[in-house]
């Protein structure tokens, strides 16, 4: 590989850490370029020109002038931000807005989201087709529904383009819009077919990517199997089964420089698997910050969207059992209002045992990972999950459902796993009864301090970095390029 030109990948995304983040997608696409660099892969990320992105860019040059991008002029700006190489779509009429990338401040979706993310796909296709020769990619890699139309624009507007990959981070979010928008999206009539963008009488952005990309990946091997079933396929299982030979699951990793308990500047005391003792200081600081009783009770943490998918309604049901064991709970997250209120009410009724912060706070998220004893993730489905990997890194034992990437990353502490020295957490079937049993199992394990510390060390030694997965992505890119040469 030494001396060979790097593979140039155009990553097509709607958010990227540390500039714009609503969930794990931003973390993944923000960390993957650095992980791919040692594999001789250069990643250029195409992203909407949100104000935070444009403000972060430096060494900027305009690489393409677009006289009319769905109603107004736009420019493609090439530059760097932190350690990332970016192309930002400077289109204020589409992206210079308050709120997050998808919703206004009132929580409602922007009514022109189809156009906003159609523009993302169209600009990706124009770059992929070589309109900026110096940045013509070998592989176009689109993420989630927001990038899904890139493959469609390539198929229906250009004769030739690079190899294409569509990654599904969460199949539940599909980008469905009225069929009447086809002309407004500058797609030809032939694109609206069962083999194109049509999905049950609508335009399906994600469906288009799944049908038209050369390869499909998702973010864990177990989720790749699950989404081909009726239970988890969200109406796309038939299409995914038909493309089984072009579908693979590549497990996400985490940025182990950002999530590193021995160097983390956001926690009270640093530690590692050899010296776990300083960890107790983080627990003390966390409890004080959250006004929890300063005893040595088992402290469960939650860092999550508060939604049905994440199984947090089940945790509300199990909370009396958790409190009856003498344990405590700290919750950080936002989501469905009824769940937010349920945890706020629990904190009001049990102020020394339950604490809840609605919203997201990066420093508090790190402190919970470093100070809680166990992290609860009772998800009904979970494509990959990143919080459990952070928990492993920090010796916070993950208590997780046996679904998706949770099943792929956590080894249950059953008797055999403990005897063999491989257990890293508690794994259970996502039902109220089994979650309750998992809480009781965790409590029993906690009471055996010697075994608990052994499991903590197992967890902290788990490789949750991007290294192995980056090698798999790089090999996929090489295999796709070799197909074209044959």
- List residues forming the annotated binding site for ADP-alpha-D-glucose: 21
CA neighbor of 308 nearest in space, from 216, 425, 432: 432
Say if CB 88 and CB 77 are below 8 A apart. Answer: yes
CA neighbor of 317 nearest in space, from 440, 438, 435: 435
Say if CB 370 and CB 391 are below 8 A apart. Answer: no
Cα 386 to Cα 308, 405, 464, distances in angstroms: 18, 9, 9
Give the pair of three-digit tokens for residue 328.
């405590």
Say if CB 414 and CB 375 are below 8 A apart. Answer: no
Reported for 463-467, long-range contacts at CB under 8 A and 24+ positions apart, including other chains, are 464/253, 464/254, 464/256, 464/389, 464/390, 464/392, 464/393, 464/409, 465/35, 465/253, 465/254, 465/256, 466/31, 466/32, 466/34, 466/35, 466/252, 466/253, 466/254, 466/255, 466/256, 467/35, 467/253
What is the spatial distance between Cα 463 and Cα 475, in angstroms, rounded to a whole number?
20
Say if CB 124 and CB 140 are below 8 A apart. Answer: yes
User: CA-based Rg of the chain, rounded to a whole angstrom?
Assistant: 23
- Report the b/e string of 293-303 with b at 16+ CB within 10 A: eeeebbbbbbb
Question: Residue written as tokens 């609860």?
Answer: 376
Say if CB 270 and CB 278 are below 8 A apart. Answer: yes
Say if CB 404 and CB 223 are below 8 A apart. Answer: yes
Residues 6+ apart with CB under 8 A from 154: 125, 128, 129, 140, 161, 164, 212
Which ranges in 217-336 belong to alpha helices (H)?
A: 221-226, 237-242, 279-289, 312-324
What is the spatial distance between Cα 37 and Cα 142, in angstroms, rounded to a whole number?
18
Cα 282 to Cα 17, 130, 271, 273, distances in angstroms: 25, 52, 10, 15
Concatenate the DSSP letters of all residues of 263-278 into one string.
Answer: T-TTSSS---SS--TT
Give the pair of three-digit tokens for residue 172.
């539940």
CA neighbor of 297 nearest in space, from 324, 315, 279: 324
Give the pair of three-digit tokens for residue 391.
């928990």
Say if CB 285 and CB 364 are below 8 A apart. Answer: no
């Amino acid at each position: 590989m030494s001396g060979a030109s790097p593979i140039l990948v155009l990553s097509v995304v709607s958010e990227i850490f540390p500039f714009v983040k609503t969930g794990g997608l931003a973390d993944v696409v923000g960390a993957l370029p650095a992980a791919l660099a040692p594999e001789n892969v250069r990643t250029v990320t195409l992203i909407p020109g949100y104000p935070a992105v444009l403000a972060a860019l430096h060494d900027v040059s305009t690489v393409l002038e677009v006289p009319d991008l769905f109603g107004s002029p736009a420019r493609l700006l090439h530059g760097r931000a932190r350690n990332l190489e970016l192309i930002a779509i400077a289109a204020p009429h589409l992206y210079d807005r308050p709120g997050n990338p998808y919703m206004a401040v009132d929580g409602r979706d922007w009514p022109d989201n189809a156009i906003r993310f159609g523009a993302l796909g169209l600009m990706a296709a124009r770059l992929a087709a070589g309109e900026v020769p110096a940045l013509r990619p070998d592989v176009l890699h689109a993420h989630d529904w927001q990038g899904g139309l890139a493959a469609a624009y390539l198929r229906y507007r250009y004769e030739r383009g690079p190899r294409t990959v569509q990654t599904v981070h969460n199949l539940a979010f599909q980008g469905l819009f009225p069929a009447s928008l086809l002309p407004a999206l500058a797609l030809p009539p032939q694109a609206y077919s069962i083999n194109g963008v049509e999905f049950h009488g609508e335009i399906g952005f994600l469906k288009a990517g799944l049908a038209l990309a050369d390869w499909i990946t998702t973010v864990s091997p177990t989720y790749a199997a699950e989404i081909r079933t009726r239970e988890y396929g969200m109406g796309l299982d038939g299409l995914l089964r038909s493309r089984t030979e072009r579908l693979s699951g590549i497990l996400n990793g985490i940025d182990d420089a950002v999530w590193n308990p021995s160097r983390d500047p956001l926690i009270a005391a640093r530690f590692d698997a050899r010296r776990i003792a300083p960890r107790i200081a983080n627990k003390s600081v966390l409890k004080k910050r959250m006004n929890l009783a300063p005893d040595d009770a088992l402290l469960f943490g939650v860092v999550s969207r508060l939604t049905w998918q994440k199984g947090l309604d089940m945790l509300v049901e199990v909370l009396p059992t958790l409190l009856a064991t003498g344990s405590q709970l700290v919750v950080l997250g936002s989501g469905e209002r009824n769940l937010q209120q349920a945890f706020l009410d629990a904190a009001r009724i049990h102020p020394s045992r339950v604490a809840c912060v609605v919203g997201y706070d990066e420093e508090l998220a790190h402190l919970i990972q470093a100070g809680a004893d166990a992290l609860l993730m009772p998800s009904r489905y979970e494509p990959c999950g990143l919080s459990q990997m952070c928990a492993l890194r920090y010796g916070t034992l993950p208590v997780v459902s046996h679904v998706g990437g949770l099943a792929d990353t956590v080894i249950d502490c059953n008797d055999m796993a403990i005897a063999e020295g491989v257990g890293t957490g508690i794994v259970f079937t996502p039902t109220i009864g089994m979650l309750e049993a998992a809480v009781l199992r965790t409590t029993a394990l906690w009471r055996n301090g010697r075994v608990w510390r052994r499991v903590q060390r197992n967890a902290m030694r788990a490789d949750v970095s991007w290294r192995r997965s980056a090698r798999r992505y790089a090999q996929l890119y090489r295999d796709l390029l070799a197909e074209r040469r044959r």
